[in-house]
Structure formats: structure tokens, C-alpha cells
Amino acid sequence: MSAVLESRSLCFGYGAKACCAMPLDFSLAMGEVVVLMGENGCGKSTLLKTFAGLVNPVAGTVALNGRSLGGWTPRDRARRVALVRMNQSVPDRMTVREFVSLGRIPYSGFLDCRSAEDERSVDEAMDLLDVDAFASRPIAELSDGERSRVFLAQALAQQVNVLLLDEPNAFLDIPRSHALFRLLKKIAAERQMGIVVSTHSVEYAERYADRILVIDPNRVRVSCAGEARSQGLFDWTEI
């Protein structure tokens, strides 16, 4: 499978302080779901931001479709990679549909005109995430669980090659969490999208991931999901 995102000798963190001692070599394939795990504060969010180009590497490189992240314009990069965070602020009066439509900004012209293709992309994303029933409601009035689905719908409307999700099921109940991970598997395969999703759930990681990536203070370890337990990638979860 072709790689859509690659890191080489990557040290990630803020300033000169790296989150782990050993650099990371990693490639994300088209159609693959990788679950990112580790203790609170280990650097999961920082790694996702580095993959998205929002935080510069401490050392090493990150490449998107074979080109360094720094070689893409912000607009072109936004057409290829999206980071979804559940703690982002939302405008008070913006409706759900208006918010999801923001995912089409990288494709809009100077006057931000929406084409028929833009509208179709928004409709499809809202249908997939089952948020079209409250399309006209202000997003600020939604529950945390409803809002998290709207955030993901916006990213899907963006039609990226790489989707980075920071604990997307944090506010979802168990049935909707399973539904979300099943959807991620489906869209990764059907759209040939590479997905990295952070979660604390070993069950979801083993059941839905192709590979599992775990950050600890000394190194970042990567394994096929079926071999992660035997290779000790879940040792950090044990008391």
C-alpha cells in the first residue's frame, strides 16, 4: 500500500524538548487505520499536531504524499490532511450545516462561493455522521456527543487523504463509539484515506485498528493490532 504520511527520525515536542527519547520512523498507508495510545501527557496530541503541520518537529521530518509538510501551501495542505480535536471552540450562532460547510473552504474561490460539488460533499458527510436531522440547530447548543460527530463531519466534507482524530469518542456512549470506529474503517477502505486516531480504549484498538502506535517516555512502538498485546504494547495500561 502507498504511504500518504511519513516521518523519518522524528522527534516531536515543544521548543527543544522532545516527548520521547527515541526518534520515530513511521509511515501511514492509504486505507489504513492506526490507533494512537499512551498515558495522559505522553504527547499524543502533540504528535497529531506535528503530523498536521501545526507544530514543527524538534528534529527529523514529516512528509505528506512524498513532499515535506513545509513544501505545501496551507491551502493545499488543508486539502490533504485534517486534524479533528474535540475541545475546539465553536461560534455561538453558527448552525450545524454552516459549520460542516467550513470544510469546503480549501476548495472555494476568492469569494468563498459554494459549488454543487461542495454541497454534495457537505450532504454526504452529514448523512454519514447522522447529523443532518439537526442541520439547522446552532452547534453551540448541541451535546458534547452530537458536537463531536459534527466536528468529524466537517473533516469528511474536506475530503482529505489523511485524517487525524484526537480522542473522537471521548464524549460518545459505547454504541456510538463502536459505530464511529466501524465508520472509520469503512471510509478508510472506501476512500483510500489514511487515519490516525487516538483513544484510551484497548478494546477499540484491538478490534478496529490495523496497527497500534504507543508512546512511552523512552520510545514510540508500533505493531500490528493482532500482535500488540503479545509484544507488550499494552503494558502501560496495567497497574
Encode pLDDT of 167-192 as tens digits: 998 888 899 899 999 999 999 999 99
User: According to the model, what pLDDT value does residue 192 have?
Assistant: 92
Residue 90: Cβ-neighbour burial (10 angstroms; 0-12, 13-18, 19+): middle
User: According to the model, what pLDDT value does residue 239 have?
Assistant: 62
Residue 201: CB atoms within 10 Å: 17
Report all structural domains of the chain as residue ranges with CATH numbers, in order of start. Answer: 1-80+161-239 (3.40.50.300), 90-159 (no CATH)
At residue 113 the predicted structure's pLDDT band, cuts being 50, 70 and 90, is low
Q: What is the 3-state secondary structure (H, E, C) of the chain?
A: CCEEEEEEEEECEECCEECCCCCEEEEEECCCEEEEECCCCCCHHHHHHHHHCCCCCCEEEEEECCEEHHHCCHHHHHCCEEEEECCCCCCCCCEHHHHHHHHHHHHCCCCCCCCHHHHHHHHHHHHHCCCHHHCCCEHHHCCHHHHHHHHHHHHHHCCCCEEEEECCCCCCCHHHHHHHHHHHHHHHHHHCCEEEEECCCHHHHHHHCCEEEEECCCCEEEEEHHHCCCCCCCHHHCC
Greatest alpha-carbon pair distance for the chain in Å reads: 56
User: According to the model, what pLDDT value does residue 14 have?
Assistant: 87
User: Mean pLDDT in the chain?
Assistant: 90
At residue 1 the predicted structure's pLDDT band, cuts being 50, 70 and 90, is low
Reply yes or no on whether the pLDDT at 110 is more than 60: no
Q: What is the mean pLDDT of residues 70-94?
A: 90
Reply yes or no on whether the pLDDT at 86 is more than 60: yes
Reply yes or no on whether the pLDDT at 41 is more than 90: no
* Percent over 70 (pLDDT), the chain: 97
**Beta bridge partners of residue 184, listed in sequence order:** none
Per the structure block, which three cell numbers stand in for 213? 502506535
pTM: 0.92
- The backbone torsions φ and ψ at residue 184, rounded to the nearest 5 degrees and listed phi first, read -60, -40
Reply yes or no on whether the pLDDT at 222 is more than 60: yes
* Percent over 90 (pLDDT), the chain: 67
At residue 195 the predicted structure's pLDDT band, cuts being 50, 70 and 90, is very high
At residue 65 the predicted structure's pLDDT band, cuts being 50, 70 and 90, is very high
User: According to the model, what pLDDT value does residue 111 have?
Assistant: 52
